[in-house]
Amino acid sequence: MLSEPTSNDSGSKSMSDCIFCKIIKGEIPCQAVYEDDLIFAFDDINPQAPVHTLIIPKQHYVSLKDIPEEKMGFISHLMSTARDIAEKKGISESGFRIVLNTGRDSGQDVFHIHFHLLGGRRMSWPPG
């Protein structure tokens, strides 16, 4: 588990120890699913469902609470891309879940905002 950053710079700079920043830069291999100027998506190496894809912004933000209001526009693009990935992976019709954890108590253990796209099996509720 990576330690939560202690700086309060709104996550505006990449952290040298951030595993997701290293994946985006190609320093750590992954099974890439999608990439454009704003976001990157790849399959989780520890999947919690038959389909488990992580979708992350290329810009480093610690969590949802650290994204400046003027930068929130990419969230819409990210959700649209999640919908497209679900279609591509064959789970669009049966259903899928998108999860965003914010902070330690939510289960966030990589402190670079990331969305989990999960599907391919029946999900239970409550999730935690």
Active site residue 114: yes
52, 112, 114, 116: which one is catalytic?
114
Tell me, letter by letter, the H, E, C secondary structure of the chain: CCCCCCCCCCCCCCCCCCHHHHHHCCCCCCCEEEECCCEEEEECCCCCCCEEEEEEECCCCCCHHHCCHHHCCHHHHHHHHHHHHHHHCCCCCCCEEEEECCCHHHCCCCCCCCEEEEECCCCCCCCC
Catalytic residues, by residue number, are 114
